[in-house]
Each structure stands twice: as structure tokens, then as C-alpha cells.
Amino acid sequence: MAQKNIATLRAQAQVIRDETAANANTALRVGGQHEDQNDSVLNVVETADQSVVSKVEFKSQAVPNSDTNDTIKTFTATPTFNFNDGHSQQMTLAGNVTTFATSNESAGGFYMVWIINDATAGRTVAAPTGWTKMTDSDDHNTDASAINLYQFFTNPGNTLKYYAIKNI
């Protein structure tokens, strides 16, 4: 599972700006080089000269509480994705999500939630409670059978919580 997460991070290596932060120069940079080519890094950059002020490393070793398969969650309009149940979870919509919460995220964590629309178009998903959406992120795709990948990142102090949506 950790290998899959790292591959996803590298494939989407990009700078994503959070313009809603107090400092408009705050950004998250996914990607990076380490002595071990299987590792990745998430850098938090807060200055105009792009100096790194915080770094989260994703090692290629097994991730605690991770599974070889996604944890399948039964649809509810008010889901809480408990990351002790796995770092990658999945839910198929059968209605609108009015409240979206997470629990047990670790400092420096990376999580994925796959939200799959059923055959009915127009299903909506509320923004995750307590998380800041990255501005270059996609919007939730409401097309019938659409797949939305929600990616969650926390800093080492677990004080910054960002998410991005990728339409697959």
C-alpha cells in the first residue's frame, strides 16, 4: 500500500498553492529526491524565495494501519473516515453527503478516500470538516459513475490539514 501512495505522489508532483492562507506564498510541494529513490517528500513552503519550512517524508516501508486493499465503507450521508481502518478507503455514493468527517489522522500522514458516484448524476459531497482544500484541486465530479480521489495531507505537528480532489 505504501508503494502505491508514493507512486501516486510522484505521478502528481506539483506545487499546489493555498491562497486562502494568511500568507499567500504558502504552498505544498509534492515530490523530491532522497538517497533512497523509493522515498517521496511533501514540503511546506512559506516564503517568496521558495525555502522549505517544513518537510514530511513518505518512506517506502510499510505504513502502520495500512491494508493491501481499500477499506470499503458503506454509504451514509454523514460518513466519518476513521484512518485507523486504513490509509486508503472507498465509498460508493447512494445519495448526497451532507457532512464529511475524518478521525485518527497521524502527524505527517497521507490518506486517500475514493468516492465513487453511483449511476445517478448530481450527487454532491460536503467539504471535509477541519480540512483546507488546495486551490489547484479539482472540484467533486457529480457525473454518473464518476470517480473522485480525495487526498489528505497533515504536517509533522498535525496542525496543518490539507486535502485535494483528483477526478479520475
DSSP, collapsed to helix, strand or coil, labels residue 70 as coil
pLDDT of residue 44: 53
User: Positive or negative, the Cα torsion across 121, 123, 127, 128?
Assistant: negative
pTM beyond 0.75: no
Sheet holding 71-73, edge to edge: 71-73, 88-92, 110-116, 147-154, 161-167, 132-133
> Between 157 and 61, where is the model more confident?
157
Model confidence band, residue 70 (pLDDT cutoffs 50, 70, 90): confident
**Each residue's pLDDT tens digit, 131-146:** 999 988 999 999 999 9
Query: Structural domain tally of the chain?
Result: 1
What DSSP element (H or E) covers 28?
strand 27-30
β 161-167/132-133 pair status: parallel
> What percent of the chain has pLDDT above 70?
59
What's the pLDDT at 36?
Answer: 44
Range of the domain at 131: 2-167
